[in-house]
Amino acid sequence: MTTTSTDVPASLGPNEPPEPAQPERARSRFAAVFLRVGPASVIGTLLAAIFGVTFAVITPPFWGHDEITQFGRAYQVAHGGIQPQQIYDNRGVSYGGEVPISVDALMGYALDDYTNSPEEPAPLAQSPRGYELLENQPVTSAERTIWFTNTSAYSPLPYLPAAAGIRVAELLDLNVGGLMLATRLAGLAVYLALIAFALRALRGSRVQWLVCAVALLPITVFQAGTVTADTMTNAIAILVSALLLKGLFLGMPLNRVETAALLTAAVALPLCKPAYALLAMAVLVVPAERMGLSGWKRVLPWLFAAIGAAAFVAWNAISSPTTEGMGLMRRESQWHSVRPGDQLSEVLGDPLHFSNVLAQSVLRRDQEWFDEFFGELGFGYVTVPATSIVACLIALALALGIAERFTASHLRTAIVGAGVAVTTAAIFGTLYLGFSPVGYFIVDGVQGRYFVPLAIVAFAVLLRWVPLRLSRDDGRTPGKGAAIAIVAAIVIALVAAVAKYYVLVWG
């Protein structure tokens, strides 16, 4: 039986398959992009975007962590304010700046609302109508001076995304609510870009799911959806950690863009929050050849680390006077009890007493730090539900279990581990000297969220020295199934956190 010429297109040879149909070609292209970018990068960024926007929308204005003072500093940066600005305050030394009167009215309303929240089962937000009325007001040209000593201590760098959002909102002549949302979403956009880059750098590896699990903790996503310096701090710390995993612990080469990002982060991270300066210095333990550096370029990590250290020292010198006014964050009887010099003298004069203070801090507060690591959401003080915490633990355990064997030398691993330990000590030391009253019985002000930037690197050190991994009956490491379980656990954690937050705040 002869075949007609219409059976096979003339453009195809005798052994060439027919061209796939349009839907199949589209699916094939999507699959190729998905694999090239990396599943964790696509899924993680998408989930962070969905839940970050959700938190940005459902969180009442200025209910984020220190969001009143964080916004004040961002507004100052948006209008050219670089250094801390001292303001008049009859209580004592204070720093701050100006915000529009209509914004200040919303700040005052929010402060009163979350400070005087009613008992259960009433919702924490007492009058949603009040927020609606104040958010619909135009942004006034007249301004009022507000206090934000605590955030005046931070450099302008972590506020650049929020400042850009403020300028865009002003350009579009948005109302107060639009200004607030634009500021939150600008920070979220930068967070998404940086974690997408971090996860893409680890495409093809299984440890990418560990980075994904940390980047999508309820607390990190909540902060990404509110105005805070922690948004940039967390994002850059996650980026540094991912590149450290790739270049040091996995022994994989970094491309030029990744090397440039790691070097830039060595300067940027110390300017976001000084406590994490040593994490940025991890650029020095990545072998130069894995960063594609040879010849004279091998000095670049040392050069950028030196610039980061110099920037750290310079900004600390500029911002150190603000410490004198930190006591005003405490109750009135303790306004003048935070004196770093006197506190340091007591620590050096009686180190055994300070050791007891540290022990007391852990024994009395460690369960709070544990919960806060997963999420105490803003100044509604809504702790994420047990469902979220258990789901996060499952995601982290699975991600750790399927991670590759690491190849970093024990010496380099020990250096990174020491950096984590010293950074942890720096967090406690900073809060004892700069926030706790002289001779206080614990280190006050420590919160679990402060340890999130260290989590990935700490887990990497643990995995290098404790080579416990999950394996199937055939000895192979679980792959796709474990990844699906990790994503499912992350989604459950975030959905439960959003549900509880919405119910408790809005009813």
Tell me how far apart the alpha carbons of residues 329 and 341 are, in angstroms, rounded to a whole number.
18
Q: Is 11 exposed, middle or buried (0-12, 13-18, 19+ CB in 10 A)?
A: exposed
Structure tokens at 311: 């920037």
Across the range 258-262, mean pLDDT stands at 97
Tell me how far apart the alpha carbons of residues 245 and 207 are, in angstroms, rounded to a whole number.
8
By percentage, how much of the chain surpasses pLDDT 90? 79
pLDDT for residue 474: 54
Q: Give just the sign of the alpha carbon dihedral 459, 463, 468, 470.
A: positive
Confidence band (pLDDT; 50, 70, 90) for 457? Answer: very high
Contact 317, 410 (CB under 8 A): no
pTM of the model: 0.91
pLDDT for residue 26: 53
Across the range 216-237, mean pLDDT stands at 98
Contact 157, 74 (CB under 8 A): no
Query: What residue ranges do the domains of the chain occupy?
Result: 36-329+340-506
- pLDDT tens digits for range 372-411: 999 999 999 999 999 999 999 999 999 999 999 999 999 9
Helices and strands (H, E) in the chain, number of each type: 20, 5
Least confident span in 97-101, 173-177, 399-403, 476-480: 476-480
Confidence band (pLDDT; 50, 70, 90) for 274? Answer: confident
- If you average pLDDT over every residue of the chain, what do you get? 91
Cis peptide before 121 (omega within 30 of 0): yes
Nearest to 332 by CA among 413, 437, 190: 437
Q: Residue 197 pLDDT > 50, yes or no?
A: yes
- pLDDT tens digits for range 317-348: 999 999 989 989 888 888 888 898 888 998 89
pLDDT for residue 333: 86
Least confident span in 13-27, 28-42, 106-120, 158-172: 13-27
By percentage, how much of the chain surpasses pLDDT 70? 91
pLDDT for residue 38: 77
Tell me how far apart the alpha carbons of residues 271 and 265 are, in angstroms, rounded to a whole number.
10
pLDDT for residue 7: 44
pLDDT for residue 36: 63
Question: What's the N-to-C CA distance of the chain in angstroms?
Answer: 76
Measured CA to CA in angstroms, residue 446 lies from 149, 156, 221, 256, 316 at distances of 18, 23, 20, 38, 20
pLDDT for residue 467: 72
Across the range 50-74, mean pLDDT stands at 97
Tell me how far apart the alpha carbons of residues 46 and 215 are, in angstroms, rounded to a whole number.
12
Measured CA to CA in angstroms, residue 316 lies from 26, 270, 321 at distances of 53, 10, 9
Least confident span in 195-199, 373-377, 470-474: 470-474
pLDDT for residue 10: 41
Which residues have CB under 8 Å from 252's CB, separation 6+?
A: 205, 246, 290
Nearest to 270 by CA among 279, 261, 282, 262: 279
pLDDT for residue 472: 58
pLDDT for residue 5: 42
Across the range 35-54, mean pLDDT stands at 89
pLDDT for residue 217: 98
> Phi/psi zone of residue 338: left (φ > 0), alpha (ψ -120 to 50 degrees), beta?
beta
Contact 305, 240 (CB under 8 A): no
Confidence band (pLDDT; 50, 70, 90) for 315? Answer: very high
Which residues have CB under 8 Å from 42's CB, separation 6+?
A: 34
Q: Residue 2 pLDDT > 90, yes or no?
A: no
pLDDT for residue 440: 92
